[in-house]
Structure 1
Amino acid sequence: MFGLGAAGIAAAGAGAIAAHSLLQEPPVAHASSASDPVPFYGGHQAGIVTPAQDRLHFAAFDVTTDEKAELVDLLQEWTAAAARLTQGREAGTFGAVGGSAEAAPDDTGEALGLPASGLTLTIGFGPSLFDDRFGLAGRRPPALADLPKFPGDQLVPEISGGDICVQACAHDPQVAVHAIRNLARIGFGRVSVRWSQLGFGRTSSTSRAQATPRNLMGFKDGTNNMKLEDAALLREQLWAAPQDGADWMAGGSYLVTRKIRMTIETWDRTSLREQEDIFGRSKGEGAPVGRKNEFDPVDLAAMRPDAHVRLAHPSAHGDAHLLRRGYNYVDGSDGLGRLDAGLFFIAYQRDPRKQFVPVQMSLAKADPLNEYIKHISSGLFACPPGVEDAGDYWGRALFA
């Protein structure tokens, strides 16, 4: 899941795809500069095909209330706050200093004076939300099936899963942290943070206007990622459709997260030739084996049979694709002089059962990169369509 960035799905069926392709695609939300706001309202949530920002704060929450009405109220409050925050405003009406001196402020204040910085907030609902607490069991989408245990997984339950996730992406880390902090503050008594992850240095480009970034192994990552300019491909393989089995998810997408720790020190002692053979690309230019340029066609026959690019290539998985927008992370050291570092993998798709699962199963069984990485957390979330206007809220159709 590192070097290729496009692993995909045999789409749900030619008829379904053709019908979905006739839908009018809403404009893509993006900022004109790094400091500008990204539009919040629209048919799809921002933060999916939005050109990937440089910083991430991702949080998963457990719902602590058993009252459906309280959960709905929270989602309405969160949506109103998100609409303000993404436009560079404070989280509440009175902000950090405008209210009563005797009351807690409506905003924590650490982003005062900072621009919107391209902030996007994207919400998703985990499989555990569809238990018997809120009467949602019958509304769980078929595509939100639990991920299987992959060979080699070393998942830590405390940093996996969650009832709800919120992905905050921005060009300023303080803006992203501020957003999650304020949503957690608003949710006090109704949700608690299960786990969170900071990320830097995006590891995928989601627009052709962006250069391909590098992961912490030094290789260009996500060369063949789906891009926001690929409108037909996005309709087929990114956005859920009404006929997929959950009407409330139409226009939404399914999110998979994986925290992948790298044994950086071992990798750094590996020869350049071995590194390039493992990936199937050159380290400098990012060209596929036997080619000169990054975007030259891949010659699978020219690389070793278990090369990462070859195992993850769409031709091996029914021409399936993912839209990736992961981030590097460094969480200090482990006390033994080794960096606790790696990739926080994020991928959106129309159906993880047909996209992420077969690709990851192939990689888990045979990828030589497995000698240098281990998967330590996992998440799966259904990200509903966008919020249409100020009278709408995140997940409204699910609770209707």
Structure 2
Amino acid sequence: MNDTNDPDRLSRRRFLTSTATAVTIAATSTAAAPHVLAKTSGTASSEADIIPFWGSHQAGIATPQQGFVYFAAFDLVTDKRDDVIALLRRWTEVSARLTQGQTVAPLTDDVANPPVDSGEAVGLTPSRLTVTFGFGPGLFATSDGKDRYGLNKHRPEALVDLPRFNGDQLVPERTGGDLCIQACSNDPQVAFHAVRQLARLAYDAAKMRWAQPGFLAAQKDKGTPRNLMGFKDGTMNPPINSSATLDRYVWAGDDAGWMNHGSYLVARPIRIALEHWDRMKLGFQEQVMGRHKNTGAPLGGKHEKDALDLDANDADGNPIIPDNSHVRLGAPTVNDGAQILRRSYSYDNGLSFTAERWPPWRQAMEFDAGLLFLCYQSDPRTGFIKIFDNMSKFDMLNQFVTHIGGGVFACPPGAKEGGYVGQALFDIA
């Protein structure tokens, strides 16, 4: 097909084909008065709706979890390093605007060109929107002896390819990615709008590989949210209000070079066989999890935050918290103290055809639903990989869940105003 007659491809190429183009657009955007997304009775977004974008850490990691996520992974389709820099610079500039409740650029009445913003979030507040970026292993790849973007020697040791875990059924179309975007907000349309705009701005530099929206149950008591299995999810999370804990478990340390103050993200869409789970007796569900369903307390305890007593036995000498329960196998005490910061969301993609992995081997249309597992750590080797290796082999929960995709990403530190996310990497390379 001759794309010289394709207006979409022509407009994309006019928009972002070089660093110079991106700089020109940025200069034009900042020169005009901003258009604010939220206009309620003539007022802009309140400070409570806004989370600062600029800072030493990227927002959306140690930020109190919002109600909705739109996660997307991208493949880079350009072989030019300058295109990647231009894309990251533009993504950073636009994300800073969106998180402040502004449109991509000031709106105009120019009917001869595509709108600068798709417009579905005009009139909405940012609702605590955060946009977090990550770099996948493909950004540092070599092929046929050629360093793709001249970054291979700066690939962090911690950015390892995830091993194949027992039970993995990863779908290639939902796995991997050179770049990722995690947009979170208390309004699902705002989160989607953010990713949509950034995808539009990528044009010929990158294309979407896979995406997954998700939601978080709002608790009346502001307590731990529940997943689709009905259990509280994230009880053992390290506290995000403790800088010492975050420095130990979440942020990359001073020896991490350009990743100092960044974090490593493991993303895994996990399908849950809800129809199978819903047929299980409550007592069995609690044995699988190692917690009481109603209170979230560990078996043998009364309150959600009670410490796990992994040495407690019942009258017959059996562990009260089963050896192959989910909570035991994920506990820091059985994983050499390893901890990760979970930031997961439930998802529901409607229905799909499924052949069960368990008796009676039923085939039917079932819920395509589960958990978008997102976790941050200072090093995946001592975090997710350490914890999940045993869980993938022995966890009773495995008969109800299947990991169907995902990836690992290095999320750089935050950007200073006027800079861009990941700048430290490209400045040294």
Amino acid in structure 2 at the alignment position of 1:47:
G
Task: Tell me which of the two structures has the higher relative contact order, counting C-alpha pairs closer than 8 angstroms and 6 or more residues apart.
Answer: 1
Query: Residue 222 of structure 1: SS of its match in structure 2?
Result: coil
- 1:281 pairs, out of 288, 291, 297, with 291
- 2:405 pairs, out of 365, 370, 377, with 377
1:199 paired with 2:214, answer yes
1:210, distance to aligned residue in structure 2 (A) = 4.0
1:287, distance to aligned residue in structure 2 (A) = 0.5
- 1:115 pairs, out of 125, 141, 152, with 125
Q: Which residue pairs with 1:368 in the alignment?
A: 396
1:392 paired with 2:410, answer no
Equivalents in 2 of 1:250, 1:33: separation in Å?
32
Runs of 4+ in 1 over 3 A off after TM superposition: 32-35
1:33, distance to aligned residue in structure 2 (A) = 8.1
1:76 paired with 2:89, answer yes
- 2:272 pairs, out of 262, 273, 283, with 262
Preserved contact between residue 172 and residue 405 of structure 2 (Cα < 8 Å): yes
Equivalents in 2 of 1:156, 1:147: separation in Å?
14
Q: 1:127-168, CA deviations, whole angstroms, 9 ceiling, x for partnerless residues?
A: 011012101100100000111110110001111110000000
Preserved contact between residue 256 and residue 347 of structure 1 (Cα < 8 Å): yes
1:220, distance to aligned residue in structure 2 (A) = 0.6
Size of the aligned set, in residue pairs, is 359
Q: 1:326-369, CA deviations, whole angstroms, 9 ceiling, x for partnerless residues?
A: 10001010143310000000000000011110111110010000
Q: Which residue pairs with 2:347 in the alignment?
A: 329
Equivalents in 1 of 2:84, 2:222: separation in Å?
38
Q: Which residue pairs with 2:159 in the alignment?
A: 144
Preserved contact between residue 256 and residue 378 of structure 1 (Cα < 8 Å): yes
- Specify the structure having the higher radius of gyration (Cα): 2
1:255, distance to aligned residue in structure 2 (A) = 0.1
Q: Which residue pairs with 1:211 in the alignment?
A: 223
1:227, distance to aligned residue in structure 2 (A) = 2.2
Query: Residue 134 of structure 2: SS of its match in structure 1?
Result: strand
Amino acid in structure 2 at the alignment position of 1:68:
R
Equivalents in 1 of 2:222, 2:86: separation in Å?
38
What residue ranges of structure 1 are gaps of 5+ in the alignment?
1-31
Amino acid in structure 1 at the alignment position of 2:62:
V
Q: CA 1:253–1:137 in 2, change beyond 3 Å: closer, same or farther?
A: same
Amino acid in structure 2 at the alignment position of 1:73:
A
Q: Which residue pairs with 1:62 in the alignment?
A: 75
Equivalents in 2 of 1:214, 1:35: separation in Å?
25
Preserved contact between residue 338 and residue 386 of structure 2 (Cα < 8 Å): no
Equivalents in 2 of 1:35, 1:331: separation in Å?
31
Q: Which residue pairs with 2:337 in the alignment?
A: 319
- 2:150 pairs, out of 135, 150, 165, with 135
Query: Residue 93 of structure 2: SS of its match in structure 1?
Result: helix
Q: CA RMSD in A?
A: 1.6
TM-score by length of 2: 0.82
Bigger mean CA offset, 168-177 vs 334-343: 334-343
Equivalents in 1 of 2:237, 2:92: separation in Å?
29
1:106 paired with 2:121, answer no
Equivalents in 2 of 1:80, 1:339: separation in Å?
39
